Structure formats: C-alpha cells, structure tokens
C-alpha cells in the first residue's frame, strides 16, 4: 500500500457541464482536485464520442495542475503529437488499441509527455511486463471504457495488487479509472493505487455556481482512504 498522503484525486471532466469546461476545471481545482482527467473517445474503440485536440488546447490554460489525457481511440499513434501540442502532461493509450504499444509509448515520450498505458478489465496485468521500464503510469480500467457512472468491477482489485508487485520500486503511478467513490477507493489504495480518477462521485450535487459539493465529494474520498 502507498503512503496515503501521496494519493492524487483526478476528477474526470466527462462528468462536468459540457457548456462550461473552463469554469468547471477552475472550480474543481479550487475545491482540491490534484489532476484533471480528460477522457478522449472516438466512437470506434469505445461506443461514445468526446474531445479532440483543439478542445484540449482550449481548456489547457484553465488547468493549473496536471492535464491527464486518456486516449480511448484506435488508431492512436497518428494523434499523439496533436494531444502533446495541445498541452497534455500525461498521455495514456490503451494497450488493446495499439498493435504496437511499445512504439506508441516511445512516441508519447518523444513528444515530451509522460506516457501511460491503460488496461481494459479483461486485459491481464502480465500484458505490461515488457513495458515497465518505459512507462510513467498504468491505468487500470475498473469499468469498461466509454461512459461515466458505471458500476465498479471488483476483479480489478486483484489486478491492481499484481501490478503493484510487478512494478516494485519503479516510479510508476497506478491510476484507477471507473466507479471510484468513498466505498471503492479504499480497496484500490490498499491494493497499491496512487491516482484515483472520479467523475460522477466528484461532480455530483455541484455546479460552477455552487462548487462546494465538489470539495465535499473530494474530501469524502480522501477521508475514506485516510488521506
């Protein structure tokens, strides 16, 4: 298990007001978000469509923390540079979306961004074994990618535990994405996660005009993990 004071909460703007991203980001950062998670979907790799690189570029000046871009797109390689130029600090690609994920990770780092790999729920921990010396983040999908507000898939706790052991003392973040709330987050932190993406659990009950619930929701997760 990690030192819980180092756990990052990364709200997903997929659950924010789509007419108000700049203000939503500023509000959720003021309420204690550590990173901003941006879910890019292509309607092909996942059955939903969201943000292109121009949109990422437009929101970048509103982000004071870390822009964490999760690419749920296939093909992926030809878009990496555009998301890096849009200002992504971390770019995560799916291992299932790239036939040459090793090359994809090299391409992300070559653009100057930190490189993440995401694993769908059915993809085993062992799939990243030969990437461990070249990634900065492993994202464990604890729902099937495509939508916010889905139910947490419990089998991903054991996968996270395996990944933590495989990583050893390498400086790699384990990020959990999907279904994170005060009841599920402690399971993943105990298993070794240090970045928790949360969409609906952070944005519920609040708005730009009434942002305090964002802070209460973030604190509810922090309290649950003893952070």
Q: Which of 36, 116, 128, 148 binds ligand DX5 (CB under 6 A)?
A: 148
- Residue 218, interface with ligand DX5 (CB under 6 A)? no
Q: Which residue is nearest to Zn ion (CB)?
A: 70
Identify the residue whose tokens are 């990496």.
Answer: 80
Q: Which of 36, 40, 167, 198 binds ligand DX5 (CB under 6 A)?
A: 198
- The answer to whether residue 177 is catalytic is yes
- The answer to whether residue 89 is catalytic is no
Buried b (16+ CB within 10 A) or exposed e, 164-199: beebeeeebbbbbbbbbbbebbbbbbbbbbbbbbbb
Contact between 157 and 138 under an 8 Å Cβ cutoff? The reply is no
Which lies closer to ligand DX5 via its Cβ, residue 136 or residue 177? 177
- Residue 211, interface with ligand DX5 (CB under 6 A)? no
Q: Which tokens in the block code for residue 194?
A: 């240090």
Which lies closer to ligand DX5 via its Cβ, residue 3 or residue 197? 197
Site size toward ligand DX5, by CB under 6 A: 21
Partners of 12 in the β-ladder:
37
- Per CB under 6 A, contacts with ligand DX5 among 31-50 are 37, 39
Select from 91-99, 108-116, 173-181, 186-194 the region that touches ligand DX5 (CB under 6 A).
Answer: 173-181
- Residue 184, interface with ligand DX5 (CB under 6 A)? no
Closest residue by Cα to residue 176 from 220, 205, 132, 141: 141
Compute CA 57 distance to the chain's CA centroid, rounded to the nearest angstrom.
Answer: 18
């Amino acid at each position: 298990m990690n030192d819980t004071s180092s756990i990052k909460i990364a709200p997903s703007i997929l659950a924010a007001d789509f007419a108000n991203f700049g203000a939503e980001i500023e509000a959720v950062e003021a309420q204690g978000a550590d990173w901003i998670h941006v879910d890019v979907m292509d309607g092909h790799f996942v059955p939903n469509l969201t943000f292109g690189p121009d949109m990422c570029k437009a929101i970048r000046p509103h982000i004071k923390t870390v822009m964490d871009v999760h690419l749920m797109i296939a093909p992926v390689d030809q878009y990496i540079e555009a998301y890096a130029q849009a200002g992504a600090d971390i770019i995560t690609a799916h291992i299932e979306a790239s036939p040459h994920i090793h090359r994809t990770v090299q391409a992300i780092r070559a653009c100057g961004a930190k490189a993440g790999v995401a694993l769908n729920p059915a993809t085993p921990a062992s799939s990243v074994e030969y990437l461990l010396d070249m990634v900065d983040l492993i994202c464990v999908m604890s729902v099937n990618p495509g939508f916010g507000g889905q139910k947490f898939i419990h089998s991903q706790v054991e996968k996270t535990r395996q990944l933590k052991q495989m990583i050893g003392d390498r400086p790699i973040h384990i990020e959990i994405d999907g279904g994170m709330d005060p009841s599920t987050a402690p399971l993943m932190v105990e298993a070794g996660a240090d970045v928790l993406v949360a969409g609906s659990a952070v944005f519920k009950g609040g708005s730009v005009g009434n942002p305090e619930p964002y802070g209460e929701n973030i604190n509810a997760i922090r309290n649950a993990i003893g952070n």
